[in-house]
A = this chain, B = another copy of it.
Amino acid sequence: MTLCLSETDIRAVLHMPELMDAMEAALVAFSSGGAVQPVRPVVEMAATSFFAAMPGFLRSPPVLGAKLVAVIGPNRERGLPTHRASILLFDAETGGLLALLDGRLITEMRTAAVSAVSAKYMARRDARVLTILGSGVQARSHLEAMMQWRAFDEVRVWSPTGDHSRRFAAESGRLVCACMSARDAVTGADVVVLATSSPTPAIEDGWVTPGAHVISVGACRPDQREMDPALVARAQGGRRFARFGVSGIRRYRDGNTRGTIHRAPCRGRVRGSCDRRGDRPHGPRGSDAI
């Protein structure tokens, strides 16, 4: 009998602290070859709609599954989530279907959990200012995950639409400051989360304080590029640039790295640093590297 879990079911049992531990273990397994995660095939459906299949296999304990995700741009106008996902889990021994999970909330929370793990290992130990560019689903979940990792003294948000920034700040239930410009928000921040789907850089290299930890979440498509190429180059120069997960690199390099990166030091998406030997991620830890 297949277990079916709705978003409500998932919400009742999925908590950020345990999820962050699980993501940390998953990143270690991936870096050490214990997890198999092939490049995902993407079906282009329309200008802002696509569908991706993401199979994965963990050798020990044996876990087999796949996420199927539809990203539907026009859902924004329909009042529906833009990212809708289903996750199937199988018995890795016999191939039998064990469970069907609604994957929307898991996608939302998991993404932020991985970012928080990257910050845990790569951000300054004394990080006190968190900046989030964007005000959507990922901005919200990153605020939760980052505050779970660390009680930042100051949290700033900026969104191209001023209203969105203010609403985000008001709804967050925390002391979040809605900034007037991206520059104001980023200057002096220790951890910067880019959660936009911007086709042009939302950040400039010069705004970023030495030693800051920059996390780009929102550029998973070839026509998106929220990072400043000069910033990517600076991080690369300091060998502090890496990609987690395997999602984008061969199939469709994300927009951030287009034309700036020829050899990625690790596979996956821009977020923190890891090495290929399976050690835990390691970061600037108070140095001036980005």
Residues on A lying within 8 angstroms of B by beta carbon are 2, 4, 36, 38-45, 49, 51-57, 64, 66, 68, 70-72, 75, 78, 80, 84, 86, 88, 90, 92-97, 100, 102
Contacts and interface: CB of A to CB of B under 8 A. Distances in A.
Nearest to A103: B97
Q: Is the interface of A mostly helix, strand, loop or mixed?
A: strand
Chain copies in the assembled complex: 2
A246 to B, nearest CB: 10
Contacts of A75: 94-95
Contact of A66 (B53, B90, B100, B102): B53
Given A38-B42, A55-B53, A94 B72 contact: yes
A45 B64 contact: yes
A49 B68 CA distance: 21
Given A90-B51, A94-B75, A95-B70, A57 B36 contact: no
Contacts of A38: 41-43
Contact of A80 (B66, B70, B90, B94): B94
Contact of A97 (B66, B86, B94): B86
A57 B86 contact: no
